[in-house]
Amino acid sequence: MKMNPVYKKELQINVRSIKLPVMIIFFNMMLTLIGLIVFYDIISLTEIEANISYSSAITLYQLLVIIEFSLLVFVVPAVTAGGISGERERQTLDILLSSRLTPANIILGKLASSVNTMILLIISGLPVISLIFIFGGVTFRDVLTITIYLVFVTFFVGTLGIVFSTAVKRTTSATVLTYGSILFFCLGTLLLTAMLVFVIRFQNPEAEALAGAGWTLIILLFNPVITLLELLERQVGVTFDLFDWRFGMEIPLFLKTHWIILSIMLQSVLTGVLLYFSCHQLDPLKKKKAKSLKR
Amino acid sequence: MLRIHELYKKYGKSTALDRLSLHINEGEMYGFVGPNGAGKTTTMKIVAGLLDADGGQVYVDGIDAIKYPKRVKEKIAYMPDFFGVYDNLKVLEYMKFFASIYDIDKKAETYCMELLEMVGLNNKTGCYVDELSRGMKQKLCLARCLIHDPKLLILDEPASGMDPKARFEFREILKRLNQLGKTVLISSHILTELAELCTNIGIIDKGKLLLSDTIDEVFKTLNTSSPLVITVLDDVEKTVSCLRNNPFIENLSFKENSIRINTTGDLHMEALLLKMLIDKGILVTEFRRERRNLESVFLKIIEGKDNDEDEPGV
């Protein structure tokens, strides 16, 4: 199979850039620092209680995964938001577009290389995540599942970066918009659900009304944080009680059973739609195509 | 090779191309001249499939460029006026990147080296692209354009910002490419260079093609409107009085033995004028049209167009 030329070129450029080692060092430094603090806390407790609490070990795992997730969500826009706008700023985009490359080739090459970098970060963080194996309670399969989910989130967030990078001219604007959209998906959807719950409670203060309003949580299927928390809960059987994202409502059984797969499917569809939009946006002859479609 | 018919493009309210028509035959080196904002880059970008046209047709080697941009991209190469640089990419890697776009994977290195040799960069293969001088970058960009052996090269002000030596070298490369059968559409502000380089020339202003012809024809047409310079051995006063009576002469000035006249007549009148001077016993040592350079041709055409537009009822 032929390798995407843009992907190949980006890999070549990325490995020579100082950005990559700096990113790996920063990423692992943060992960290690937090991991070691929690690890030290567990050991300190052991000295007092003379036994290792299973819940502490699970908290360490959950914390490490959430920190890794947060770092990824923080780093991905910095890598992807300059993908297309960077080419535009360097004035190399016209050269690429006037060649045989299609907008899809360019966009997928850019996205794949960014995801590649992120996979490198995830893999480099595995030794720190493996701290949990000292205490047990989490299997290798659990870590692998989480790793695959993190790669998926990288695709989703990376696509947001590429979309804005294609839509706006400047990398700075694209980066700001990407962070804004991530904030919307991670916090905005929660806020939206909270508002809906508030309206339902306001209209009908009785408890039964809220019990039947579990479907409003469907919005949260687009929230990668919630899906991560749900995944962690299923793996270790313990809720990471940061907050009650269910707002005291009962999740409908169908949603509860298929939450992970539904969420991944919906986010995948959204990723696909956004990528299609980006390809269309990058096509210099899009107006002409739109006209011919109208006819 | 390239046929543009009634090309029309608007940016908001301003018209960039106003039903521009152009024809370039195979093997021609066509100089596209015009002031800033005349529509040169817009035309080139539409041909290269980088911009939508609002109307008109573009055919490259018989293929409709607006309908089948993908097929046309195989036949053309576009070189923008600014060479964008990738950090951390070496010259040979840059070439190989474009070779891989066109599925040239086997023997890519040998082929890229041949092209780099053609533009004189074979000793720079290991250098990072961003470390090259402006002239070298432009040569590299030209080598990149040749990677898929295009029939038509579209070069948007390729020599801008180059020093005279680099400009000369670049011009020589273009001449060689033209000899190899490549059709070249080149725009530039350095008009004298186009005169030395191009076989044909087109002057564009405000989105309209004002003139399109072979460089010799352009000069021939404009030559008859150039002042006539007559130098005599002696007896300037007698010569001037003879010339003043000629109805074809519009105005006359003289300095020492050289007389400069503007005429309304053609080549026949010129010959008669010379005969008349000789018949009157005047010893003529020089009788010629003042040679105009391309800049003056360009300015004259643009000015002429502006005057036409200013005149009421035109």
Winning range, highest mean pLDDT, from A198-202, B234-238, B307-311: B234-238
| Pairwise CB contact (< 8 Å): A91 & B74 | no
Chain B residues with CB-CB distance to A2 below 8 A:
103, 105
Give the mutation candidate from A2, A3, A9, A289 for the B interface (greatest B CB count, under 10 A).
A9
| Pairwise CB contact (< 8 Å): A99 & B98 | yes
Percent of chain B whose pLDDT exceeds 90: 21
> Higher pLDDT residue, A27 or B235?
A27
Closest CB to B51 among A12, A95, A284: A284
Q: Identify the three-state secondary structure at position B272.
A: helix
| Pairwise CB contact (< 8 Å): B97 & A288 | no
> Higher pLDDT residue, A32 or B219?
A32
Contact (CB, 8 A) for B200 and B214: yes
> Higher pLDDT residue, A153 or B292?
A153
- State the pLDDT at residue B190: 65
Closest CB to A5 among B50, B80, B97: B97
φ, ψ of residue B277 in degrees (nearest 5): -65, -45
State the residue for tokens 């946006």.
A281
> Higher pLDDT residue, A106 or B222?
A106
- State the pLDDT at residue A292: 56
Chain B residues with CB-CB distance to A12 below 8 A:
88-89, 93
Chain A contacts in chain B segment 88-147 (CB below 8 A)? 88-89, 93, 97-98, 100-103, 105, 141, 144
- State the pLDDT at residue B312: 44
Distance from CA of A110 to the nearest CA of B (A): 14
Residue of A nearest to B155 (CA): A95
Chain A residues with CB-CB distance to B148 below 8 A:
100
Secondary structure of chain A in HEC code, one letter for each residue: CCCCHHHHHHHHHHHHCCHHHHHHHHHHHHHHHHHHHHHHHHHHHHHHHCCCCHHHHHHHHHHHHHHHHHHHHHHHHHHHCCHHHHHHHHCCHHHHHCCCCCHHHHHHHHHHHHHHHHHHHHHHHHHHHHHHHHCCCCCHHHHHHHHHHHHHHHHHHHHHHHHHHHHCCCHHHHHHHHHHHHHHHHHHHHHHHHHHHHHHHHHCCCHHHHHCCHHHHHHHHHCHHHHHHHHHHHHHCCCCCCCCCCCCCCCCHHHHHHHHHHHHHHHHHHHHHHHHHHHHHHCCCHHHHHHHHHC
pLDDT band at B150 (very low <50, low <70, confident <90, very high): very high
| Pairwise CB contact (< 8 Å): B48 & A98 | yes
- State the pLDDT at residue A24: 92
Chain B residues with CB-CB distance to A97 below 8 A:
49-50
Distance from CA of A78 to the nearest CA of B (A): 17
Distance from CA of A103 to the nearest CA of B (A): 12
Quote the CA–CA distance of A32 and A60 in Å, as a whole number: 12
Residue of A nearest to B44 (CA): A98
**pLDDT at residue B5 greater than cutoff 80:** yes
Chain B residues with CB-CB distance to A91 below 8 A:
80, 82-84
Q: Using alpha carbons, list the distances in angstroms from residue A92 to A95, A98, B58, B87, B249.
A: 5, 10, 24, 12, 56
The verdict on B69 touching A (C-beta cutoff 8 Å) is yes
| Pairwise CB contact (< 8 Å): B78 & A2 | no
Quote the CA–CA distance of B188 and B191 in Å, as a whole number: 7
Distance from CA of B128 to the nearest CA of A (A): 11
Residue of B nearest to A17 (CA): B88
Q: Radius of gyration of chain B from Cα atoms?
A: 24
> Higher pLDDT residue, A131 or B298?
A131
Spans of chain A below 50 pLDDT: 293
The verdict on B74 touching A (C-beta cutoff 8 Å) is yes
Residue of B nearest to A8 (CA): B97
Question: What integer best gives the mean pLDDT of chain B?
Answer: 84
- State the pLDDT at residue B314: 32
Percent of chain B whose pLDDT exceeds 70: 89
**pLDDT at residue B146 greater than cutoff 70:** yes
**pLDDT at residue B308 greater than cutoff 70:** no
Give the mutation candidate from B8, B46, B50, B76 for the A interface (greatest A CB count, under 10 A).
B50
Mean per-residue pLDDT for B144-161? 89
Contact (CB, 8 A) for A227 and A259: yes
Give the mutation candidate from A98, A105, A280, A292 for the B interface (greatest B CB count, under 10 A).
A98
pLDDT band at B24 (very low <50, low <70, confident <90, very high): very high
Mean per-residue pLDDT for B41-62? 90
φ, ψ of residue B70 in degrees (nearest 5): -65, -45
